[in-house]
Structure 1
């Protein structure tokens, strides 16, 4: 064999290492694509494609919705009715459960094997099913009082009654979504993002179907998209079932409050759920204030503007954050804090930089985009102008919201859910204060800006606080990095050996 063939091959250095690799061959069809494990960039790419598809379908849905219902009482009742179900779901399940479950599941799988990991999964699923059923029953009971006195006190009795009815129908949504969340968490922990990504894309299919029923079946009205919401979340659950079946799941009906793994999940879930709950309480506060705005189209305008702003937030904050989370959890569980720190700051830093041009694009292209997409049928030019005004405020909130989503993943990977809860509580109080403050100076049509600007100030200051706290936390953790400890031991050994030989 020649000397050239014996020479060791040099490893080509890639910025970011394996966790940031991107190979188009990993996206080839067949060969177990749904079971394939993806890097941060590959997983984020999949989720971004799904979110783009979902948002395009969401725009189609919103165009149909606006043409049918405009910014009138039915539309306002529908938007308001979604607040309580969304809050209850995210309080108990949603991202809160995913962030609490993944680190514990990975630790159990590594330390105790697949059997114990699946027992823990079964226990979490059983507990969640019972909890969401109880929440559903409580929500049905408190819906009238919540709607009349907290959510939309400034609306007419007829609008309150319609909102209450729609809320009670939509309360089935958290129960269905809760079961799907466990499946999403399992697939994400295995770094299998394809089916969770597809589930995001199919959500709007059910809603569009409900709107088409309203359009072509007389008398259905606003109940079409309301029941379409339930069909949408059912589709999200069903589309992930094939991926779950391929994981060789071992389900067992166990009920053990003393299970140590369940206690770890609950310890992380409690502050995590409170943090998410605090964020969604902010949406309820926005709706409460919007019900007193002089322009009756304000709530619908805010919803449409927020939907447009949600696309870059989802692409940058949600997709990248969801893909990054299991990788950070793996490094944290293995005690590789130096590598975790490098991974976190490279991805988070590059992602936040993207939010600035995205915010400028929203501000510049918002008006023609709203006119082109939404100004049809019952959605008149006045509603279009009001939506554009709200979008200018939401564009200012984009960097802070995306950064907050990404930074919170670093704390969850370290099994620290209390810090995000504290910072979210700060953001809620700041948001409430700024709403009161801005309403003193903004009047008439400009009053609608108080809602998005209050969000922008709260989200931006919260993200700055979280960045400082995460930087300090990771700096302290580096002292306990196992790789660095081994390197330091080897350095001491080589130094002692040199001294002995001298």
Structure 2
């Protein structure tokens, strides 16, 4: 799983670098990126959040308790999901202008950008259906303890997108402004992006077939046991809605920064690129852990083996921290150099990547509470408790919105979105504390807090010393070496010193990481 995720993220990073080279980090890139974000948001709002959090425990329970091994429940659930998302994709494509107006203002000065975003959205909104195909077949596989295919098939998506952006860069003049992009370029980006996701989704179907699943559409939803799933899912829907409201507010405010400084890379695209880079360690380590642990934790919760559930959570937090904590300090130490290395190509020059690097630094240390809170929420989902995660999301989203608005009002456009990145990180730090307190009560005992805190204290001390040393070495090398060489020198020094210090401090999880599978 981790290997598939690593390859997927590496190819995704290559795709992102080519995308930045083709579109830059300013207002033009924002039109494509915003339109490409909307299908994901709507998919999670319609049913995606429930699929990822609620329905895996339901599928596991059905396979354990139903006389047919849960096959009838699976057929009805798959049919329901595909019907809901198919209809949702059609309606969303029809209402594209109204949807985009939520994220972006249509003013005389931004009208061209708004219209281009709507055109992109009409090409990209059908992705809602293909997200559903990928997720529901992936969850069917997960319920059968087959995790690899869902981790590897995104590589196919990235290969198609890499090819698409390569063609875009190689065959066409790269536009600098919104008004310069041609209809042919828009069609290439729109059709290519949706086709890539469609191939990723369809590629899972043979794996589901090999696992024993046969799709036979079943519309007998009444009395089929789906009511319990939908009741649990309503809280997940509210959870997704709370996060979506916060991200929409941030997107709208970041778009205002783009409109004020359209070619400076200080708005939504820089924010989203920085956030994607920042989330890479969590995506590789934490998500892989959660995907494997959730079915096991669900069984432990159903059988009231609370000690086993707490042990799984503790181990996941400690082992993931070996990667997450130093990665957070790495982003703080080398944010601007990372941004320049990855995005100072093609349509984006070195100066345009500086704000992105500062945003990466602002996100930085927030990676630790973000990843830990993501893990702890799965403890509630194992109990099929979706109400508490919603309440936690309300606190986090509310705080994020308030701080983002403060940054928008008090900071100049150059720094407003950087402040929003720091606000996002701070919101999750508060959310982690609230989540840990609630989960401790839910599991009727301690969460191995002393051991976890002791491990994270050692990791923080090692990362701080290693990060400061790596930053100093990179700074000294920058006078005589290229930016890439100085970043490599600083990064290698930080990694080696971190491993040495962690061993000296007897961080046992460092040895268990390679044996995680």
TM-score (norm 1): 0.81
- Tell me how far apart the structure 1 counterparts of residues 439 and 5 of structure 2 sit (CA, whole Å): 28
Superposed CA deviations along residues 373-431 of structure 1, whole A, max 9, x for unmatched, are 21112101221111111111111321122112111111111000111111112211111
2:84 matched to which residue of 1? 131
Task: Tell me by how many angstroms 1:152 deviates.
Answer: 4.2
Q: Which has the larger radius of gyration?
A: 1
Identify which of 339, 344, 356 aligns with 2:325.
356
Residues 1:102 and 2:66 are matched in the alignment:
no
2:71 matched to which residue of 1? 118
Residues 1:303 and 2:303 are matched in the alignment:
no
Identify which of 375, 387, 390 aligns with 1:418.
387
Contact 1:147 1:153 in 2 (8 A): no
Identify which of 143, 166, 188 aligns with 2:96.
143
Identify which of 102, 113, 138 aligns with 1:159.
113
- Tell me how far apart the structure 2 counterparts of residues 167 and 397 of structure 1 sit (CA, whole Å): 31
2:342 matched to which residue of 1? 373
Task: Tell me by how many angstroms 1:332 deviates.
Answer: 1.6
- Tell me how far apart the structure 2 counterparts of residues 271 and 455 of structure 1 sit (CA, whole Å): 22
- Tell me how far apart the structure 1 counterparts of residues 238 and 92 of structure 2 sit (CA, whole Å): 17
Contact 1:119 1:251 in 2 (8 A): no
- Tell me how far apart the structure 2 counterparts of residues 459 and 226 of structure 1 sit (CA, whole Å): 34
Residues 1:264 and 2:228 are matched in the alignment:
yes
Contact 1:88 1:174 in 2 (8 A): yes
- Tell me how far apart the structure 2 counterparts of residues 337 and 171 of structure 1 sit (CA, whole Å): 42
Identify which of 314, 322, 333 aligns with 2:302.
333
Contact 1:139 1:171 in 2 (8 A): yes
1:170 matched to which residue of 2? 124
Residues 1:83 and 2:37 are matched in the alignment:
yes
Contact 2:278 2:367 in 1 (8 A): yes
Contact 2:300 2:308 in 1 (8 A): yes
Contact 2:242 2:394 in 1 (8 A): yes
- Tell me how far apart the structure 2 counterparts of residues 310 and 223 of structure 1 sit (CA, whole Å): 30
Compared CA separation, residues 371 and 251, structure 1 to 2 (3 A): closer
Identify which of 412, 416, 440 aligns with 1:471.
440
- Tell me how far apart the structure 2 counterparts of residues 398 and 412 of structure 1 sit (CA, whole Å): 22
Task: Tell me by how many angstroms 1:54 deviates.
Answer: 1.8
Task: Tell me by how many angstroms 1:260 deviates.
Answer: 4.5
Superposed CA deviations along residues 353-384 of structure 1, whole A, max 9, x for unmatched, are 64221110112122222222211121012211
Identify which of 369, 376, 379 aligns with 1:407.
376
2:455 matched to which residue of 1? none
Number of paired residues? 431
Compared CA separation, residues 308 and 442, structure 1 to 2 (3 A): same
Question: Structure 2: 5+ residue runs without aligned partners?
Answer: 173-181, 448-517
1:389 matched to which residue of 2? 358
Superposed CA deviations along residues 29-80 of structure 1, whole A, max 9, x for unmatched, are xxxxxxxxxxxxxxxxx2x222221222122212222222212433110011
Residues 1:59 and 2:13 are matched in the alignment:
yes
What is the 5 A alignment of 1:280-319? 280-293=244-257, 294-296=260-262, 297=265, 298-319=267-288
- Tell me how far apart the structure 1 counterparts of residues 323 and 391 of structure 2 sit (CA, whole Å): 27
2:489 matched to which residue of 1? none
Task: Tell me by how many angstroms 1:149 deviates.
Answer: 4.7
Say which is worse superposed, 460-469 or 91-100, in terms of deviation. Answer: 91-100
Superposed CA deviations along residues 94-150 of structure 1, whole A, max 9, x for unmatched, are 34313221111111211123x251111111111112211221232123321232354
- Tell me how far apart the structure 2 counterparts of residues 152 and 401 of structure 1 sit (CA, whole Å): 30
Superposed CA deviations along residues 226-257 of structure 1, whole A, max 9, x for unmatched, are 32221221222232222211222244332233
* Structure 1 residue ranges, 4+ long, deviating more than 6 angstroms after superposition: none
Contact 2:366 2:426 in 1 (8 A): yes
Question: Structure 1: 5+ residue runs without aligned partners?
Answer: 1-45, 479-502
- Tell me how far apart the structure 2 counterparts of residues 212 and 227 of structure 1 sit (CA, whole Å): 15
